[in-house]
Amino acid sequence: MIYRSFLFAPGDSDRKIEKAIASNADAIILDLEDAVVAENRPMARTQVRDVLQATGPTMPGRLWVRINPVCTDDCLSDLAAITCDGLAGVMVPKPDSAADIDTVSYYLAALERREGLTAGSIKILSVMTETGKGFLNAASYGNADRPRLSGVLWGAEDLSAALGASANTDEDGALSFTYQMARSLCLAAASAGEIQAIDTVYTDFKNPDGLRANSLAARREGFLGKIAIHPNQVDIINECFSPSPDDIAHAKAVIAAFAENPGKGTVGLNGKMLDRPHQVQAERVLSLAEAFNIQ
């Protein structure tokens, strides 16, 4: 599946979970990490499992859980509690490298067997640049076949804290160089691993115009989806990461131009020369339109 929007909801809040499920988000992330204080995690695990079992089977592919980092005792406790029918996948925060993803995959293999689930059915997302080690080990995501890993995303806020930075933007509000690099590494890792690149949160949730501009820029760069922290962000994100009617019409024209000129590496369209990369991009646009049932 391709996901345009991922909406977070604290795992210990019935009200926020209900609002998230009622939204148009392609995926819901029930959070057991930063949004839940340590003393509430045992209760939150039970609550999240109840939601997964009651609602997950009716929403295939939509309910995910952000677990705690692999380096913590909470990680395995989270996985043991939430692995059940209805869990689409887990988001792994603060990994030091793709080896942490392999560790989670090993845990899931055993837990799927315990639950009688299809082997490999639970997928993984990695927030790959939240630590200094994760940032430096971005290349590890392109070095092995990981069928569970369906996407990578980057995190500016946790990386700022890890680096001891007071801000992740410059005086004009643009991302500082380090965070631009983290963004680029996420795109490169996704391409190397042939998985989805997901953009980080836009924290000013009361600024729809800013979110729209930020989302469209991310889509132009190659991201296929984005994290949301408020239900009001979801519809804008979905719109921005969906092909527009103009996009679809242009993609169809590009495909038709190549079909009419078989064997040619370049074709002309509306006064411009197009080559193979343009055809690949057009095919991608039409594939996304089909995935989201957009005519």
Tell me the pTM. Answer: 0.91
Residues in the chain: 295
Which pLDDT tens digit goes with each residue over 236-281?
A: 999 999 998 888 988 898 888 888 888 788 888 888 888 888 888 8
Mark the ranges of the chain whose per-residue pLDDT is less than 70: none
Reported as a single tens digit per residue, the pLDDT across 187-216 is 999 999 999 999 999 999 999 999 999 999
Q: What is the pLDDT of residue 264?
A: 80
CA 75/CA 65 separation, integer angstroms: 11
pLDDT at 201: 94
Radius of gyration, CA atoms only, the chain: 20
**pLDDT at position 62, please?**
96
